Structure 1
């Protein structure tokens, strides 16, 4: 596994590859990230993972300062997963303009998470565009857990005629149903016991109004619970940690039964349709 620590090394390496499957991350890797890597290895000749904690997408300095740093463990996991190369840039390399130039979307990014995290999606879209321009991947792999981010990135690719296929990958959950996230490790023991209730409630088949009351009664501070197409999306804060999740809405509306949990082993190698 090659470690690429600057843009020149990245460009030389990418130029020597025929078809790159790209997985951009902020590190603190877990089984959810590894499911993206697995999908990339099945669908690509070579796999590149980037690790960069992007400060421009954090709306709170404290959240950035407390973001987990597990680089040594991350590299061990990626090497064992058959990754071809890892890109490890720093801020000055990716932002030589000091973030004076930004990419914005002025509709969907203002709703849901965007309404509660001003500037968040500007930072996400800007850094992903920079990485796509540098790597020029054939395919890029993103999880469905952040459904709004996934839709915005797919929209950006379409709007700017980028020659990359954005591949959505299913949410990977803990055995108790909690959607995997790097921020989960910051939950207290008590909060970790409560956190799985979020998924259980949104997959219960209750009315949205009833689920809102159940979420708040469980101890969450609810940001939103709403539908987007065939998905039911939620964002709620538990203690200091903001959790997001989503489930197929049509299944709930028609079947009225809990959504089946997905594990890494059951994650399909082919992308699912989210739009």
Structure 2
């Protein structure tokens, strides 16, 4: 829609000559995330035996409207309309913005592989198109990359975009950490490492941790390449848990300082 709008209803016009039931169960979303599946779902899905015109209540704000089928099938839409509203609740941010935030890495291969390429908003996984990081040949032992969010954030998930033109398996076993220690290796580790059997194009890592820094490290001898890194904020319950953990960690550090 090219700007944020308050969408009260979305109206879908279905195919009428055949196959109307293909739209059954379709999900309508509204939000400002270009990863449309991460945006908020409207209040209902397309019902069974849908007619030629289907109204879906939303009352959500965002720049994008998307329609998806949660199964393998053809998706056909003959028209989509949006009815504006003034009663939308502003949704919680779907991403913690990392674009342009300060970054660093253990070493840099060349000018085409700078650390800030992982937060430039471009998820293209082809290294030679100039939007991926790459550590240097002279320093391949336990390489790392980090971003400074410039304030404490509660990070629910970290999404890594891997190189796709070759070498995807280099990211196997990578450790993602979140915390406020500038010695990144001392920060808390997220809930799992990158799957040892498969390093996909897009990898989601559950964290539910608070801190100022996100880091990615390889606990082995290899190059580290990241084509984009995104952060998803904690949900309500996870945020409370993370804030409690952060407070306990702070108290622990204070006690350790007092005992020195």
Q: Give the structure-1-normalised TM-score.
A: 0.24
Which protein has the bigger helix share? 1
